[in-house]
Amino acid sequence: MSETCVSRLTAAGRSAVAVIGVCGPRAAVFISACYCAATQTPRRAGQIRYGTWRPQPDAAENETPQQRDGESVVVTPLAADHFEIHGHGGAAAVSRIMDSLVQLGATPVDTAAWKQHVLRCQGEPDETLIVEAEQVLSQCTTRANAAIALQQYRGALLDWTVGWINRIGSEPHSIDELRTSAAEIAQRQSLGRHLTEPYRVVLAGPPNVGKSSLVNRLVGYGRSITHDEAGTTRDVVDCDTVIGGLPIRLGDTAGIRSGGGVIEQEGIRRGALAIAAADLVLLVIDPSTADSVDAIEQTIDSLNSSGEVIPVLNKADCIEDGMFSADRPQRSIKTIATPQDSGAANGTVDAATGDDAGDGLIELASAIVNRLRPRRLPARAPLPINVRQARWMSLIADSPDAASASERLQALRSGAECS
């Protein structure tokens, strides 16, 4: 007999409402022990029932009189052995409900194990690839990423895997085609990783060229302190935003230069570490520092040779005819962002819907999106969405023969870890 499990289904942290799931053969017994419905009509699946949640007598000995009065909740029976409890989102309220169910004999599980448990209770096949896709889908923070994860939840990778398991067994000569297909899918692992992890975009360049002002304009508020004096930024200042549907973590770094005090040099060192870990670096200069762009780019390349770099010429309104001896600065994206631009008055820059205000920010936002995600994923395209899937996909692409490929496809489907 399957055990009865309980899990918090909403994200951890403060919220107005929290949802707790209870599923298993004794779920109805546990619910009845603590829940007093406002009406005595029989429960029906899908029905919303308001009532009060009261802990068991032995659990209530140390409760305050107010707590013993119970917690207002809404209980929804999804099936005879499957319930959802909707209540106050505060940590104490959630803990009281969870603790009372655990004391009755329910087993607490995390959200990943919860979905598998529900499938077992319903007698449905326990497909790890679908469970993993649902877990990623629940963590997506943008609509664009959620749409991609939803395709995997609907079976894009599972269908590809099952199709090849069946085919490679009867057509071992198709191994080369499988290797090619798996290699193509494995190359998408960066996209899969960034469904839940923001892209890291770091602004780097000389001091006082407007890096902090650009950050503020991109996010739409005054995240970084700005001032006309060089060296205002002494550490890496991070902020999360969304550009063109992509979750992005912008990193504002200290200006790259020699000299300066101990604190400034520590800030430059931390900036170098941020550059080394970046998915994309915005190399920001202004007209007065344009001649140093090659040297700074060499510094960036020495720190992150595999990363992408977009040159940005800020304070473009200060450009004068014949100012540059080389055409490199002329080929940079030209922007206008000054310490007076807090960002709050202008709002967030959106590469998809924003209007061109003549300050170059829309062009810059579009360049960021196109560089980070240059190709649109076709509908129903299989995608590895976690490290386990990506590793197996790479191994499938390197399979020496049809037999080993079949074993690796089965391992990918079953949820086996890749050693």
What is the 8-class DSSP label of residue 42?
A: P
3-state helix, strand, coil in the chain (%, to 5): 45, 15, 40
CA–CA separation, 167 and 121 (whole Å) = 32
Q: Is 46 helix (H, G, I), strand (E, B) or coil?
A: coil
Output the six-digit token pair for 13.
């942290």
Output the six-digit token pair for 352.
């998809």
Give the relative orientation of helices 387-397 and 175-186 as an angle to the nearest 10 degrees: 150
CA–CA separation, 216 and 211 (whole Å) = 9
The whole-number pLDDT of residue 65 equals: 45
Higher pLDDT pick, 120 / 399: 399
Q: Is the pLDDT of residue 33 over 60?
A: yes
Contact (Cβ atoms closer than 8 angstroms) between residue 183 and residue 384: no
| Domain 199-372 class in CATH | alpha beta
**What is the sign, positive or negative, of the torsion defined by CA atoms of 99, 101, 104, 108?**
negative
Q: Using pLDDT thresholds of 50, 70 and 90, give the confidence band for residue 291.
A: confident
**What is the sign, positive or negative, of the torsion defined by CA atoms of 226, 229, 235, 236?**
positive
Bridge partners (DSSP) listed for residue 239? 250
CA–CA separation, 113 and 47 (whole Å) = 26
What is the 8-class DSSP label of residue 4?
A: P
Q: Parse the chain into domains and list their residue ranges.
A: 5-115, 130-188+382-414, 199-372
Q: Residue 410: left (phi > 0), alpha (psi -120 to 50), or beta?
A: alpha
Contact (Cβ atoms closer than 8 angstroms) between residue 100 and residue 70: no
pTM over 0.75: no
Closest-CA residue to 48 (of 12, 13, 83): 83
Give the relative orientation of helices 128-139 and 387-397 as an angle to the nearest 10 degrees: 130
Q: Residue 237: left (phi > 0), alpha (psi -120 to 50), or beta?
A: beta
Output the six-digit token pair for 189.
């692992």
What strands lie across the sheet with 246-252, from one edge to the other?
Answer: 237-243, 246-252, 199-204, 280-285, 308-313, 333-334
What is the 8-class DSSP label of residue 10?
A: S
Quickly list DSSP for 312-335: EE--GGG--TT--SSSTGGGSEE-
CA–CA separation, 71 and 56 (whole Å) = 13
Phi, psi of 183 (to 5 degrees): -65, -40
Specify the fold of 5-115: Gyrase A; domain 2 (3.30.1360)
First to last CA, the chain: 33
pLDDT tens profile 369-417:
999 998 888 989 999 999 999 999 999 999 999 999 999 999 999 999 9
Contact (Cβ atoms closer than 8 angstroms) between residue 321 and residue 293: no
The whole-number pLDDT of residue 264 equals: 58
CA–CA separation, 65 and 293 (whole Å) = 69
Give the relative orientation of helices 143-153 and 128-139 as an angle to the nearest 10 degrees: 170
Q: Is the pLDDT of residue 223 over 60?
A: no
Higher pLDDT pick, 174 / 127: 174
pLDDT tens profile 166-222:
999 999 999 999 999 999 999 999 999 999 999 999 998 888 888 888 888 888 765
Greatest mean pLDDT among 106-110, 284-288, 325-329, 396-400 lies in 396-400
Q: How many CB atoms lie within 10 A of CB 173?
A: 8
CA–CA separation, 320 and 82 (whole Å) = 71
Q: Is the pLDDT of residue 156 over 60?
A: yes
Q: Is 68 helix (H, G, I), strand (E, B) or coil?
A: helix
**Average predicted confidence (pLDDT) for the chain:** 84
Distances (CA, A) of 143 to 5, 41, 355: 31, 40, 21
What is the 8-class DSSP label of residue 1?
A: -
pLDDT tens profile 49-96:
899 998 865 544 455 544 556 889 999 999 999 999 999 999 899 999
The whole-number pLDDT of residue 226 equals: 45
Q: Using pLDDT thresholds of 50, 70 and 90, give the confidence band for residue 236.
A: confident
The whole-number pLDDT of residue 138 equals: 86
Closest-CA residue to 53 (of 25, 24, 74, 77): 74
The whole-number pLDDT of residue 114 equals: 86
Higher pLDDT pick, 319 / 253: 253
pLDDT tens profile 302-345:
888 888 899 998 887 777 665 555 555 556 777 777 655 554 44
Higher pLDDT pick, 349 / 89: 89
What is the 8-class DSSP label of residue 339?
A: T
The whole-number pLDDT of residue 143 equals: 93
Distances (CA, A) of 177 to 213, 242, 277, 402: 50, 38, 35, 11
